Amino acid sequence: MNSKNIVYIALFSALTTALGLFPPLTLPIGVPLTAQSIGCMLAGSIIGAKRGSIALCIYILLIVIGFPVLAGGKGGLGVMLSPSGGFILAWPLAAGLIGYLYEKNLRSLTIIKEACFIVLGGIVLVYAIGIPWVAVFAELSLYQAAVGTLFFLPGDIVKVILVIFVTRLIRRAYPSIDIKN
Amino acid sequence: MNFTEYIPGNSFIHRILPKYKLLMLVFISILLLVFSSFIAYGLMLFCLLCLYILTHISINLIWKQLKPFILVLCVIFIAQLFFSSWQSAVLVIMRLVILLLMAALVMLTTRSSDILDVLEKALSGLRYVGINPAKVSFAISLSLRFIPVIAAITSEIKEAQRARGLESSIIAIAIPLIVKILKMADDIAAAIEARSYNP
């Protein structure tokens, strides 16, 4: 892995941190919508599977080390040991899956395909890991944890739409980015 | 903004080697998931508070560790009340509070640089799987250095777009920010290689 790849990884890890600086919107249903999970979608779709997932792993290391890089200035091991820790641990896998799908279909991308990729990685996979984690830590059944998590679905759909727009415009504005490094 | 939670001190807890603190944290976390009784949790909570007193950490600080999680804890408490019993709800909350306080104690009494050292040594075992610990540390250092840079660029772009009347558009901020990041990556990588850095 050369210097350029390391720099990309570090920059997207820092970008995910910077996304936490945006004040969270509050949807009408009263659930805060933070921008940070956009970071794993962007990392996967822009710099690819390998670099994207490593970028998110670096981000998780920053959390574990104790830096307050999460939305609201949270950080430290307590975050990973809380019920929402599973969603954060899923981010590297989400970035990896999104990046992999983008790499495989780079020449035949359509908006529909991009939407499917980002939904699969950024929502389906993240929830598949986060919901069992909530169930274990909060001693709820899977069904109960899933119902509680549904409140966050509208916000995540908004994020997916946003990421699709951003990714397509980025690829047009900066065509020399090589997703397969 | 205090960038880490570390509080300088000379207590017994401060002087334990970071790797033992982290190992103990993992071990106790697993124990908490296995055992489930008021007496055990009560004893653990009591011991934890004694440890906090030993390190001379103020009550305010302990509260500050829990405050970000209050909302989550309340939601879980209500959910448990609704689906199970109040005993079950209290047990779950106690366990989560113990986990959070334990993690906070480790973070408050350990320097981030020490934890980074521990992680690098732990990652050296992964060298045989293809992970270079020096590169991981390098990426972490770069990432930390880039956080204020990206925050500054974001502010610049926000002001520029506000001057053009586009303040409310998130995409108008995100596109130039990411393009700037990608171009900056090229320049920085070239500068690093020109200085013959090779981890």
List pLDDT tens digits, range A138-165: 777 888 788 887 777 888 888 888 888 7
Q: Terminal CA-to-CA distance of chain B, rounded, Å?
A: 31
Residue in A61, A67, A144 closest to B3 by CB:
A67
So what's the pLDDT on residue A96?
93
Does some domain include residue A181? Answer: no
CATH number, domain of A132, equals: 1.10.1760.20
Does some domain include residue A119? Answer: yes
Distance between CA atoms of residues B13 and A133, nearest Å: 30
Q: How confident is the model at residue A95 (pLDDT cuts 50, 70, 90)?
A: very high
Does some domain include residue A141? Answer: yes
Burial of B71 (0-12, 13-18, 19+ CB in 10 A): exposed
Cβ distance A75 to B5 under 8 Å? yes
- The dihedrals phi and psi of A26, each to the nearest 5 degrees, come to -120, 115
| Assigned token pair, B165 | 């009347």
Count how many residues are written for chain A. Answer: 181
Cβ distance B96 to B65 under 8 Å? no
3-state secondary structure A105-129: CHHHCCHHHHHHHHHHHHHHHHHHH
Examine the pLDDT at A92 and tell me if it is beyond 90.
yes
Distance between CA atoms of residues A89 and A133, nearest Å: 10
CB contact under 8 A, B185 and A67: no
So what's the pLDDT on residue A22?
63
Residue in the block written with tokens 């397509």? A168
pLDDT digits (tens, 9 = 90+) for B70-80: 777 777 787 77
Q: Tell me whether A87 touches chain B (CB under 8 Å).
A: no
Taken in order A120, A122, A125, A131, is the CA torsion positive or negative? negative
Per the structure, how many domains does chain A have?
Answer: 1
Q: What is the mean pLDDT of chain B?
A: 76
Lowest mean pLDDT among A82-96, B5-19, B147-161: B5-19
Lowest mean pLDDT among A3-12, A141-150, B1-10: B1-10
Mean pLDDT of A77-88: 78
So what's the pLDDT on residue B2?
44
Which residues in chain A are contacts of B145 at CB distance < 8 A?
10
Q: How confident is the model at residue A35 (pLDDT cuts 50, 70, 90)?
A: confident
CB contact under 8 A, A58 and B188: no
Examine the pLDDT at A83 and tell me if it is beyond 70.
yes
Does some domain include residue A178? Answer: no
Does some domain include residue A52? Answer: yes
So what's the pLDDT on residue A135?
85
Helix (H) or strand (E) holding B155: helix B133-163
So what's the pLDDT on residue A102?
85
Choice between B193 and A117, residue whose per-residue pLDDT is larger: A117
Provide the domain limits for residue A80: 3-173
CB contact under 8 A, B107 and A166: no
pLDDT digits (tens, 9 = 90+) for B101-115: 878 877 777 767 777
Lowest mean pLDDT among A14-18, A102-106, A128-132, B186-190: A102-106
Give which of A2, A65, A176 to mutate to test B binding, by max B Cβ within 10 Å: A65
Distance between CA atoms of residues A63 and B112, nearest Å: 10
So what's the pLDDT on residue A90?
92
